[in-house]
Amino acid sequence: MNNQWFSKVAVWLVIALVLFTVFKQFDRTSTAGSQIGYSDFLEEVRAKRIKQVTLQEGGGGTDIKAITTDDKVIRTTATYLDRGLVGDLINNGIKFDVKPREEPSILMSILISWGPMLLLIGVWIYFMRQMQGGGKGGAFSFGKSRARMLDESNNSITFADVAGCDEAKEEVKELVEFLKDPQKFQKLGGRIPRGVLMVGPPGTGKTLLAKAIAGEAKVPFFSISGSDFVEMFVGVGAARVRDMFEQAKKNAPCIIFVDEIDAVGRHRGAGLGGGNDEREQTLNQMLVEMDGFETNLGVIVMAATNRPDILDPALLRPGRFDRQVYVTLPDVRGREQILNVHMRKVPIGQDIRADILARGTPGFSGADLANLVNEAALFAARRNARVVEMTDFEKAKDKILMGPERKSMVMPEEERRNTAYHEAGHALVARLLPKTDPVHKVTIIPRGRALGVTMQLPEGDRYSMDKERMLNTIAVLFGGRIAEEVFMNQMTTGASNDFERATNIARDMVTRYGMTDELGPMVYAENEGEVFLGRSITKQVNVSEETMQKVDKQIRKIIDEQYANARQLIEDNKDKMHAMAQALLEWETIDAEQIDDIMNGKPPRPPKDWTPSNTKSSGGGATPSVNSDNAPAAA
């Protein structure tokens, strides 16, 4: 507070000095008349066009102010006192007055003499205080922590705003209870955890959960990002860590929350900087503050990351981060709870079913679901609706998963037919093979970077895949290229992404999952998780060239077998392929019911919103797909 007051006073003093000088100059020039030369002034006197003169001796000569016969004011200056001028004035009958030199006031003399020096001293004191960290956010406040403290009035988020992670909420609720009533745990010999690390994929609500703790605990809450510690200046990160913990000790009990701690908590010695690396100095200081000689009673450190594998082991040991809370992707029940939380903020229609939306969004994180509700509200606003309806959510899912429709894109008829058979090949193989996700929708409307998409809707959440499902997934991916070869007699670039994904699945089956009898249960893949340059240089490959040839042979075997399997299915069902491609060319989008009709040998029913005058339909909802390729290609 004192530093801020001093800064304001110094600024106002400078402004006052500048204004005084300007107004003084303005006052001097405001009363001045037109300036003429001294010789011209003498001619005016001899011509008797002057009726009154005032002479005033100044520091640099004599200032002369004259009033002409037509009441104009003129001024001139003589560098010396012209004694002949007095005679000229008397001879021409001009009234004149001689004034002594104006002596400045004592205040003005002090201001002129000492003002610049005092100003320099004030500026020097100001910058010295700033260098000591006195001005938060100032030019020299490098060592000050940038942690933002939230109090009860600035944070309205509570546990009621967090859904889909009940186990994680129970873990952190214990911290809130400890901060409110520490005797409940201390009487049994328990101690407060030094740190809590929240681990989970992006968008699962780790930061939101930390804000909810602050809102529930009603204690000071310091929030900072891991990237806020390190600057280009050496020692700044460690100084900011010390300052942050000093502030926390003064406000204990309190919580420190470090978001994205992997920015400063990466494994030491991994890069080329060694022990002198600025980031490592920051990490060392954090390790000391959390559990070194320093005792931080009542200070809980919370951190969030989605990369726990690269954190330094010293940071994860008990005594520093005693507890790791896993905030995973929500299941179907969690997604329904999250949707209910976000849909409280928008007016929804009577047809909205959160449970149906939850089942249709497997793999969505909390952030994805929040974005889904927001996009649905935007779709409703575009059609000037008063409430958000189910159709808006379906369109929002399509946009999020596949990108916006590109109906204005003009495709040649040959490419359009090729895309139709390509997508029909994916859909047919997916319907005929067991252990594949049911086909939910097929469209040849360009979306995002894809020219067409085959959407498969999982029947439920899945946490692992068996060998048969992975093999059938590879066959489904090959269905698009095989359909192009069989029905269009050509190969296009549309299957590039399909091949890439199929090859990756086959390689993982052989090198990571041990799903081949020839190579057995052994990992042959190199460790590619570490991206530091130092580790990359010293990376060792423990697989012989002969073994790698066997690996490539097994990958080729899996791909060839599934390619042949998919080709046999397509050639045995050419009539259904023709019917599905024709339906796609006519309506551009077909859903699961229409596909059922085709697979049962019946004519496909028209889309629900189709009329004879409207033969273009964009269809309904969508969920995570296994077949959507990048442009310029069909999926």
314 and 356 in a single domain? The answer is no
Q: Which of 361, 355, 349, 337 is nearest to 390 (CA)?
A: 349
pLDDT of residue 139: 43
Query: What contacts 443, CB < 8 A, 6 or more positions away?
Result: 423, 452, 453, 455, 584, 588, 589, 590, 618, 619
Strand order in the sheet with 148-150: 148-150, 221-225, 254-259, 299-305, 195-199, 323-326
Q: How does 30-63 read in b/e, with b if 16+ C-beta sit within 10 Å?
A: eeeeeebeeeebbebbeeebbebbebeeeeeebb
Q: Which of 635, 604, 606 is nearest to 619 (CA)?
A: 606
Which run of H or of E encompasses 151?
none
**Secondary structure (3-state) at 191:** coil
Q: Are 284 and 269 in contact (CB under 8 A)?
A: no
Confirm whether 121 is domain-assigned. Answer: no
pLDDT of residue 423: 85
558: CATH: 1.20.58.760
CA triple 310-314-316, angle to 5 deg: 65
User: Choosing from 423, 484, 485, 593, which is the catalytic residue?
Assistant: 423
157 and 248 in a single domain? The answer is yes
466 and 610 in a single domain? The answer is yes
Six token digits for residue 454? 């085959």
Confirm whether 11 is domain-assigned. Answer: no
pLDDT of residue 274: 47
Rounded Cα distance, 339 and 334, in Å: 9
Six token digits for residue 301? 């450190």
**Secondary structure (3-state) at 452:** coil
Integer Rg of the chain from CA: 40
Six token digits for residue 270? 């991994």
pLDDT of residue 531: 43
Query: What contacts 234, CB < 8 A, 6 or more positions away?
Result: 278, 281
Cα–Cα distances (Å) from 216 to 38, 145, 151, 517, in that order, read 84, 25, 11, 55
Query: What contacts 228, CB < 8 A, 6 or more positions away?
Result: 146, 147, 240
Confirm whether 47 is domain-assigned. Answer: no
Confirm whether 1 is domain-assigned. Answer: no
Q: Which of 145, 152, 301 is nearest to 214 (CA)?
A: 152
Confirm whether 605 is domain-assigned. Answer: yes
Q: Are 220 and 247 in contact (CB under 8 A)?
A: no
Q: Which of 326, 349, 374 is the last residue of a domain?
A: 326
Q: Are 311 and 262 in contact (CB under 8 A)?
A: yes
380 and 425 in a single domain? The answer is no
Confirm whether 108 is domain-assigned. Answer: no
Within 10 angstroms of residue 527's Cβ, the number of other Cβ atoms is: 11
Distance of CA 550 to the CA centre of its chain: 44
Six token digits for residue 398? 């399509």
251: CATH: 3.40.50.300
Confirm whether 156 is domain-assigned. Answer: yes
Rounded Cα distance, 333 and 342, in Å: 15
Q: Are 584 and 590 in contact (CB under 8 A)?
A: yes
pLDDT of residue 621: 32
Residue 152 known to be catalytic: no
Rounded Cα distance, 358 and 186, in Å: 42
Q: Which residue has the tokens 């010396």?
A: 80
Q: Which of 374, 402, 430 is the last residue of a domain?
A: 402
Q: Which of 274, 261, 256 is nearest to 308 (CA)?
A: 261
475 and 545 in a single domain? The answer is yes
317 and 427 in a single domain? The answer is no
Task: Residue 624: give the domain boundaries.
Answer: 413-628
511 and 530 in a single domain? The answer is yes
The dihedral sign for the CA sequence 364, 369, 375, 380: positive
Q: Which residue has the tokens 């697979």?
A: 599
pLDDT of residue 534: 42
Query: What contacts 303, CB < 8 A, 6 or more positions away?
Result: 195, 196, 197, 198, 257, 258, 259, 261, 265, 321
340 and 322 in a single domain? The answer is no
Q: Are 237 and 282 in contact (CB under 8 A)?
A: yes
Domain count, the chain: 3
AA identity, residue 331: D
398 and 421 in a single domain? The answer is no
pLDDT of residue 128: 65
pLDDT of residue 323: 83
Rounded Cα distance, 34 and 302, in Å: 75
Give φ, ψ of 56 to 5 degrees. Answer: -135, 125
pLDDT of residue 80: 65
AA identity, residue 538: T
Confirm whether 75 is domain-assigned. Answer: no
CA triple 21-23-26, angle to 5 deg: 110
Q: Are 261 and 226 in contact (CB under 8 A)?
A: yes
For the chain, residues with pLDDT lower than 50 are 1, 26-31, 133-140, 273-275, 529-539, 611-626, 628-635
Q: Which of 259, 294, 326 is the last residue of a domain?
A: 326
Query: What contacts 578, CB < 8 A, 6 or more positions away?
Result: 487
Which run of H or of E encompasses 442?
strand 439-443
What are the residue ranges of helices labelled H in 218-295? 236-250, 278-291
492 and 599 in a single domain? The answer is yes
Distance of CA 39 to the CA centre of its chain: 75
396: CATH: 1.10.8.60
pLDDT of residue 573: 85
Q: Which of 234, 212, 235, 237 is nearest to 223 (CA)?
A: 212
Rounded Cα distance, 243 and 224, in Å: 13
385 and 421 in a single domain? The answer is no
383 and 365 in a single domain? The answer is yes
